[in-house]
Amino acid sequence: QKEVEQNSGPLSVPEGAIASLNCTYSDRGSQSFFWYRQYSGKSPELIMSIYSNGDKEDGRFTAQLNKASQYVSLLIRDSQPSDSATYLCAVNVGFQKLVFGTGTRLLVSP
Amino acid sequence: DTAVSQTPKYLVTQMGNDKSIKCEQNLGHDTMYWYKQDSKKFLKIMFSYNNKELIINETVPNRFSPKSPDKAHLNLHINSLELGDSAVYFCASSQVLDSLYEQYFGPGTRLTVT
């Protein structure tokens, strides 16, 4: 069973702080990794994709990938209350099949 | 300028009925997907079509039958609905040819079976 593990949270951070979300995966052959944000009652929204080891930055978001440790993380700098949502980690396990984690709920307090 | 759209948004029906959900994408993508998100918010793939050809068919009851009339449309027909089918169903699409496999989701259809 190819799995993606996330801490369900909630992860509570004050406004302006850095939120750090983590994800581990079991399929060592996976090559592409994604972070989705899902607000309550809404659909998942793609916010970051990463394919190579290292960091990838996009605005306040940084995705980090370590294939040797089978670990993906998402950093959100200067967290805002509007960032409060569930963040889903997804791993491509082949044939365009994404396996999702159960998500981490982030709460950013003003 | 809707990218991935689904109809209906809400669907309330009784056990034993047959219902369909429609999905359309105007992104020019070649691959479309159906996902199910259960009450615990776990998102799981059900089916995938690439250029009208079924490429992913997860362990889903055969009461569920996808149909892709063309690469911009993917429908889901469900026969003999059961209580356990209550969930949110999401359609998604991606462009496989660029090897990025980034998937974009529709707004979802909340199915309630009573």
**Closest alpha carbon within chain A to B32:** A96
User: What confidence score (pLDDT) does residue A49 get?
Assistant: 95
Give the pLDDT mean for B57-62.
Answer: 88
Considering only CB atoms, which chain B residues are within 8 Å of A35? none
Cα–Cα distances in angstroms (integers) from residue A88 to residues A28, A43, A103, B65, in the given order: 19, 11, 4, 27
CB B32 within 8 A of CB B68: yes
Q: Are strands A71-76 and A104-109 parallel, antiparallel or unpaired?
A: unpaired
Q: Does A56 touch chain B (CB under 8 A)?
A: no
Q: Is the pLDDT of residue B81 over 70?
A: yes
What gap in Å lies between CA B78 and CA B65, rounded to an integer?
A: 6
From residue A2, give the alpha-carbon distance in Å to each of A26, A91, A92, A94, B104.
Answer: 6, 9, 10, 11, 22
Query: Once rounded to an integer, what is the mean pLDDT over residues B30-45?
Result: 93
Measured between CA atoms, the residue of chain A closest to residue B41 is A102
Nearest-CA neighbor of A102 among A2, A1, A6? Answer: A6
Quick one: pLDDT band at residue B51, thresholds 50, 70, 90? confident
Query: Given an 8 Å threshold on Cβ–Cβ distance, is B101 in contact with A96?
Result: yes
Task: Specify the residue for token string 């449309």.
Answer: B73
Q: In residues, how long is chain B? A: 114
Instruction: Give the per-residue pLDDT at A105.
Output: 97
- Residue B98 banded pLDDT, cuts 50, 70, 90: low
Say yes or no to pLDDT of A2 above 80. Answer: no
The CA-to-CA distance between both ends of chain A, in Å, stands at 40
pLDDT per position as a tens digit, A14-46? 999 999 999 999 999 898 999 999 999 999 999
Contacts of A37 in chain B (CB under 8 A): none
Q: Whole-number mean pLDDT of chain A? A: 95
A35 touches B: beta carbon within 8 Å: no
B56 and A97 in contact by Cβ < 8 A? yes
Kind of pairing between the strands at B104-105 and B87-94: antiparallel
Question: Please, are residues B100 and A49 in contact by the beta-carbon 8 Å criterion?
Answer: yes
- Please give the pLDDT value at position B97: 66
Q: Tell me which DSSP letter residue A18 carries.
A: P
Chain A CB contacts of B102 below 8 Å: 34, 46, 49
| CA proximity to B91, closest of B3, B2, B1, B4 | B4
Give A55-65 pLDDT, tens digit per residue.
999 999 999 99
Q: What is the token pair recorded at B6?
A: 């689904």
**What pLDDT was estimated at residue B67?**
94
Contacts of B1 (CB under 8 A, 6+ apart): none
Maximum mean pLDDT: which of A5-9, A11-15, A49-53: A11-15
Confidence of residue B1 (pLDDT cuts 50, 70, 90): low
Average pLDDT over residues B20-42: 94
Q: Return the pLDDT at B104.
A: 95
Q: Are A105 and A11 in contact (CB under 8 A)?
A: yes
| SS3 state of residue B11 | strand
